[in-house]
Structure 1
Amino acid sequence: MSSALLSIQADLARIAGDVERLAPAAPVQPAAPVDDGFDAASASQGDGFVAGFKQVLQAVDERDKAASAQVADVDAGRSDDLVGAMLASQQASLSFSMLMQVRNKVVGAFDELIKLQL
């Protein structure tokens, strides 16, 4: 496994830890993963921000796993779709980058809220 994939998996684990830290005291049932990342209909039904963020986190993880599988298939000679594998890899990378930006904004806003309460 490449160092980039290991780095992405480590960052996903760290993000999952951050989501757990920001979660309310009551346990939240994990939502089923979706292909497009965020399902606005389920979020508007009261699932909350944390459940929506977990859903997005799972979708990004699934996209990363699918891209890794495509690259592994090309490496092993089971597939000759190099372009498709590279596109999937770039999509997974962009999804992860966007997730990191959202995570950073949420953590920053959370820190600001903590400062306001002092």
Structure 2
Amino acid sequence: MRNIKNGLIMKITGFIAISFSIVCSTAACSDDPVAVANPEPAVTVVKVPNGSFEEDAAETASPKGWTVSGDYSAAKVVQGGCEGNYALQYGATSAYTVSTRQTVNGLEDGIYDLE
């Protein structure tokens, strides 16, 4: 069984460039690499509706704001969350395939901490 609470999703597009300089004087040239400082990227915190599975305030197989597909009986919100009172739990007595998902719209390219 696996409890799923808050998660971190990171999305980065583009690339980080490392450049080098060619330094010349009348005596000699050098093409030794020169490190370019790369600042830490900003992290945007996004509050996910019912991200902690607390809104139902009860055990349920259909948490508010989430879409469950596949073997529904294998996914349920149960008491005993790590940080709150509830957590999403997957489990069954036989093999199962289940998905619990939520779409967050309107995010631009960047790094996000989903809470």
* TM-score between the two structures when normalised by the length of structure 2: 0.28
Question: Is the radius of gyration larger for structure 1 or structure 2?
Answer: 2
Q: Which has the higher strand share?
A: 2
Which one has more relative contact order, counting CA pairs under 8 Å at least 6 apart? 2
* TM-score between the two structures when normalised by the length of structure 1: 0.27
